[in-house]
């Protein structure tokens, strides 16, 4: 009897792991600070300091936080774009991304793509759009030569671009169209997972909605999984299924979008969310203003890293790092105010 329960639990864990396209466990990325006469390492910038989360296949995880909290570095480290990681695991489809042999790395690169914040600087000004989108398709021999032109036309069409614009250059397009080109370039490689790094923050509000809707349509059509990095919480609420809140290199809160927006628990999340504008002129905003600025990741505070700015700081917060508490329904928070499943008395 006991054995069958054990087997059932193991099978459930395997099924859950198969459901997750990406698992990040205890990921750390430190950048050395060099100085002195011999240019030796004199310190470390702890850009990511032990981040863990997983993303279900076909879903979107939003990653939010102030500038400099480590969101972009997390995205880039997952994709192996920031050199070697310092510690932890990044499992993509169950395989450790940093242990994949060189022969399989090319295939992995096609499966994991990124869309950058600034569409203009991420596009080569010397190449026509058709070549920008198709460059990597040719490099990876993704489609036979005779089907290549049709393939690029189809991708452009799916991303709301006119195929006859293939011969034009990036400067001939508007900001929104340039972001569509970046999306088409990523999509042309038939990826499974896309890191969207602030993909709409450089665009006008009206264009933002178009790009967000395009990303959602493409996700449904191609069964894509997104890690959506943004400081715009309204956009994240609209697109994400789960949300992670980062502060100074750590994930301080994680949960379903509905739970996080309806019931933020961490004092930092509460302060962030209190700044979301309410579209009602009668409504009163209870804005929580955070004191001071974000501390340096090269010299983070002891204990809870947020204690220097937290209005609910207790003595324990100054010396003990809070553990992750499970508040139910996958809602997790790192704060001494909570016990598993409850607020402390």
Binding site for ligand SF4 (CB under 6 A): 266-267, 304, 306-307, 310, 312-314, 317, 322, 335-337
What string of DSSP letters covers 274-336? Answer: TTSPPS-TTSPP---PPPS-PPPTTSPPSSSTTTTT-TT--TGGGTSPPPEEE-STT-EEE-T
In angstroms, what is the minimal distance from the CB of 300 to ligand SF4?
A: 12
Least gap, CB of 24 to ligand SF4 (angstroms) = 22
106 or 319: whose CB is closer to ligand SF4?
A: 319
For residue 304, the minimal CB distance to ligand SF4 (Å) is: 3
50 versus 160: smaller Cβ distance to ligand SF4: 50
44: nearest Cα among 344, 312, 298, 321: 298
Q: Which is nearer to ligand SF4, 332 or 336 (CB)?
A: 336
Minimum distance, C-beta of residue 87 to ligand SF4, in the bound complex (Å): 23
> Considering beta carbons, is residue 13 or 312 the nearer one to ligand SF4?
312
To which H or E segment does residue 108 belong? helix 102-111
List all residues 6 or more positions away from 250 whose beta carbon is below 8 Å from its beta carbon. 49, 50, 51, 70, 305, 334
Minimum CB–partner distance for residue 254 and ligand SF4 (Å): 15
Q: Tell me how far apart the alpha carbons of residues 28 and 31 are, in angstroms, rounded to a whole number.
A: 10
Structure tokens at 327: 């508040």
Q: Are 227 and 195 in contact (CB under 8 A)?
A: yes
Helix 175-187 to helix 129-139 angle, to the nearest 10 degrees?
A: 20
Least distance (Å) from ligand SF4 to the CB of residue 307? 4
Nearer to ligand SF4, 7 or 344 (CB): 344
Question: In terms of CB distance, is 49 or 197 closer to ligand SF4?
Answer: 49
Closest CB to ligand SF4 among 119 and 255? 255
Q: Is 220 left (phi over 0), alpha (psi -120 to 50) or beta?
A: alpha
Q: Are 143 and 151 in contact (CB under 8 A)?
A: yes
Contact 179, 214 (CB under 8 A): no
- Of 62 and 322, the one with the shorter C-beta distance to ligand SF4 is 322
C-beta of 276 vs 313, nearer to ligand SF4: 313
Cβ 212 to ligand SF4, closest distance in Å?
31
- DSSP annotation string for 247-270: ETTEEEEEEEHHHHHHS--SHHHH
Q: What is the rounded CA–CA span in Å between residue 81 and residue 272?
A: 29
How far is CA 166 from its chain centroid? Answer: 30
Minimum CB separation of residue 306 from ligand SF4 in Å reads: 4
3-state helix, strand, coil in the chain (%, to 5): 35, 25, 40
Q: How far is the CB of 255 from ligand SF4 (least distance, A)?
A: 16
């Amino acid at each position: 009897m006991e054995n069958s329960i054990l087997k059932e639990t193991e099978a459930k864990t395997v099924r859950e792991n198969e459901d997750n396209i990406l698992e990040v466990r205890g990921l750390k990325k430190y950048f050395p600070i060099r100085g002195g006469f011999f240019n030796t390492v004199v310190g470390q910038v702890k850009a990511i300091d032990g981040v863990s989360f997983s993303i279900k296949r076909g879903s979107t995880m939003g990653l939010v936080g102030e500038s400099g909290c480590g969101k972009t570095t997390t995205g880039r480290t997952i994709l192996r774009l920031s050199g070697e990681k310092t510690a932890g695991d990044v499992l993509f489809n169950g395989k450790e991304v940093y242990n994949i042999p060189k022969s399989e790395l090319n295939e992995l690169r096609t499966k994991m793509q990124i869309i950058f914040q600034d569409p203009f600087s991420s596009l080569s000004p010397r190449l026509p759009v058709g070549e920008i989108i198709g460059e990597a398709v040719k490099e990876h021999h993704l489609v036979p030569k005779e089907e290549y032109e049709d393939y690029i036309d189809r991708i452009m069409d799916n991303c709301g671009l006119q195929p006859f614009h293939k011969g034009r250059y990036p400067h001939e397009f508007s900001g929104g169209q340039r972001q569509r080109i970046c999306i088409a370039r990523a999509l042309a490689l038939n990826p499974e997972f896309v890191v969207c790094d602030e993909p709409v923050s450089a665009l006008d509000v009206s264009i933002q909605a178009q790009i967000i809707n395009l990303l959602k349509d493409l996700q449904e059509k191609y069964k894509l999984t997104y890690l959506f990095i943004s400081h715009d919480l309204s956009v994240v609420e609209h697109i994400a299924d789960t949300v992670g809140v980062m502060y100074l290199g750590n994930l301080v809160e994680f949960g379903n979008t509905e739970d996080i927006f309806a019931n933020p628990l961490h004092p930092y999340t509460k302060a962030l969310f209190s700044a979301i504008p309410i579209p009602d002129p009668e409504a009163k905003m209870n804005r929580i203003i955070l004191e001071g600025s974000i501390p340096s990741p090269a010299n983070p505070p002891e204990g809870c890293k947020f204690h220097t700015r937290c209005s609910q700081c207790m003595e324990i917060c100054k010396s003990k790092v809070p553990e992750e508490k499970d508040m139910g329904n996958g809602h997790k928070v790192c704060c001494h105010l909570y016990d598993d499943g409850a607020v402390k008395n």
